[in-house]
Chains A and B, each alone.
Chain A
Amino acid sequence: MMKDQLRAVSGQIIAIGVALLMGAIIILMVGESPVRVFMTLLRGAFGDQEKIAGTLLQTTPILICGVAACIGLRGGMFNVGIEGQLFLGGFAAAWVGFAMPLPAGIHTLAALALAVVAGAAWVAIPAYFRARYNTNEVVSTILSNYVAVLLTSYFTIFLFKRPGGWSETPPILPTSYLPEIFTFSRLNWGLVIGLMLAVGAALVFRYTKWGYSVTMVGSAPKFAEYGGVNVKRQGFMVLLLSGAVGGLAGGVETLGVHHRFMEGFAPGFGFDGLIAALLANGSPVATIFTALFFGALRNGSLLLEVDTSASREIITVIQALIILSVSAQVLVRKRGDSRAGERRWKF
């Protein structure tokens, strides 16, 4: 058990190392020094307390989306629609924030609650079709992303636009803010929510009967069914839960950082979260670290562009290389020693 885990972790680290090495070659090819680029990345991510807080700020949405993805992966469900759930959750939270005056505290909770409901409701459609007609949830959740992003654009531009500004809703009321942790950064309690979710999910998977049955359905659905689990119903619930967490990610962004909903405000976090979860082998606790890694890359890249002549997009390239080397690693490993978890994401 321990040895297996060690092996999985070292595999991922080697994969990241290979990706960074290939990234370094590309940096050389564009005429920058890889050492300078990586040092600037480090400085941009962890250079001072504000930079560290900035990295954690970038980590928050990736972490929450990552936990959403983990829940799906554990239960054998590939929720690629986290992006869309995040957008709808973000909009729902903003709507509670600007349209419903409530006392402080309760207001934030109500907005987060609606974000959760919105995310779950959005995934309920693909989840229903998955359970009822065995539709491939990968395709239906991917497609639902486009609808979600455009739907929130429609809400923002045509129904709730703040008069005279950019395409955004009116600002939310201060009573609904998710408070900031420090005075010097926009970092907010969303990070704590993310950490609690990750640890909570890990505990549920490890210590509860329901969590165990989810893992069983994910790794050996026939066995689970034989053992008396209603596999379809369970798959539906897993997707719903995953979607709910995806919606929460959007709510946290809106209430914690932007304090309003902007059209197209956060593209790509859903996918970053999914990658973080895959890199973490579907483990919520490991996702904390992979999300932190991606958050640091992103925050560092913002300084990279200012302080060197390399483009910020080099990070996107490195991320893509990581995905490639991680998936290559899965293929390279012999089927025999593939832990049950890994076969889940072959579809």
Chain B
Amino acid sequence: MKRALKSLFLAGTMLAVSFGSAAAQAKVSVAAISGYFAQGFGVSIVNGLNKAKTDFGIDLKLVDTGNRALDYQQQFENLAKGKQYDLIFVMGWELVDSLQKVSAEYPDQRFVFIDGVLDNPKMIYANFAEEQGSFVAGALAGMIEAKGTAFDKIGDGKAIGFVGGRDIPVIRNFLGGYEQGAKYAAPDVKVNSVFAGTFDDPAKGSELAQALYGQGSDIVYNVAGPTGEGVMQASAAVDKYSIGVDIDMCGSAPGNVLASMLKRGDIAVYTLIKDEVEGRKITAGTRTFDLASGGVEVKVCDDIAPKIPADVTAKLDEIKKGILDGKIVIAKAK
């Protein structure tokens, strides 16, 4: 009797265990790997992942790559080998080489590359229409600059600036949108652009921005990661304006940050996971997050917003509408 009870109990436990694992299998499991989860855009992605975890109860694994190139491939293999992750989000161009190799090795593993498109048709790409957001930022900067001395802290109204991190395609795309936006809304304002050659040197960012301010650019758009932090600081030092990127940077130099061009990594990853959880399985190809889907947006800082003249705000709304319904076509940098 005792024995029979025992075996019954055992069978029961086994049943429960197998049910448990079946439930776990239905659960969406997501990993994300990058070396940038602690800063800027990476933080935004982590926020989106955590929100998805709270809302949908997904399994989430975050992996920090560190900065040794030798490690990357092994890290990808460790993630892919167990086949336990439905989606693996990847962010960072330095990981591309290892990613391509491991993706070829594990063809069934779905990788989502964030913020760029590679020449591999088997992967999923979460791309941002940064040229659209930059177009709006350029239009805003151009129109404010064109106000000249009528606007607080603006000089002769002739030029705006741009500090890029490295001279790579993504950053070129930002610059292209910015230039086109400025040209569209304020044809007389010139755009001066420089590249720092690095994403990790705030001192250099500050130096370059100060040079641009010195040459008469009163508003400088920072697209340079941590290097750009120096641009924000420089705008406070010379009491001119800067425009932040990726995340809300209004707090970096209150009073001197005009706006931030947000790339909503959180919206991108959240949307993708939502689709997956709700049964719309994500397949290979490019998903672009643009003005329409809220993937990119220009947020004017709260302390600046009341100062923006009504005609500028009206024109900006008109531009956004024009981009949404396709009347304004923005060329992408290649």
Contacts and interface: CB of A to CB of B under 8 A. Distances in A.
B238 interface: no
A165 B166 CA distance: 10
A264 B67 CA distance: 8
Chain A contact surface mostly:
helix
Contact of A267 (B67, B75, B78, B168): B67
A336 interface: no
Contacts, number: 59
Contacts of B70: 57-58, 61, 253, 257-258, 266
A105 interface: no
Contacts of A32: none
Interface string A48-68: 001000100110010000000
Nearest to B334: A164
Interface in A300-314: 302-303, 305-307, 311-312
B169 A302 contact: no
A307 B63 CA distance: 10
Interface string A288-323: 000000000011001101110001100000000000
Given A302-B74, A306-B61, A165 B93 contact: yes
Interface string A226-267: 000000000000000000000000000100011000101111
Contacts of B79: 306
Interface residues of A, number: 32
Given A157-B166, A262-B94, A264-B67, A306 B75 contact: yes
A166 interface: yes
Nearest to A60: B70
A44 to B, nearest CB: 7
A345 B209 CA distance: 47
Contacts of A303: 78
B74 A54 contact: yes
Could you say which interface size class chain B belongs to?
20 to 34
Contact of A167 (B96, B166, B169): B166
B279 interface: no
A226 B31 CA distance: 65
Contact of A312 (B66, B73, B82, B197): B66
Contacts of A101: none
Contacts of A307: 78
Contacts of A44: 78
B64 interface: yes
Interface in A145-178: 153, 157-158, 164-167
A264 B92 CA distance: 15
A268 interface: yes
Nearest to A157: B197
B197 A305 contact: no
A186 interface: yes
Contact of A166 (B67, B75, B82, B168): B168
A265 B69 contact: yes
Contacts of A58: 70
A292 to B, nearest CB: 16
B302 interface: no
B198 interface: yes
B71 interface: yes
A164 B93 CA distance: 11
Contacts of B71: 298, 302
B68 interface: yes
Nearest to B75: A302
Contacts of B77: 50
B284 to A, nearest CB: 22
Q: 10 closest Cβ contacts across the A-B interface?
A: A166-B93, A265-B69, A306-B78, A302-B74, A303-B78, A157-B197, A166-B94, A54-B74, A302-B75, A305-B63
21 contacts: A44-B78, A50-B77, A157-B197, A157-B198, A165-B168, A166-B96, A167-B166, A253-B70, A258-B70, A264-B67, A265-B69, A266-B70, A302-B71, A302-B74, A302-B75, A305-B64, A306-B31, A306-B78, A306-B82, A307-B78, A312-B64
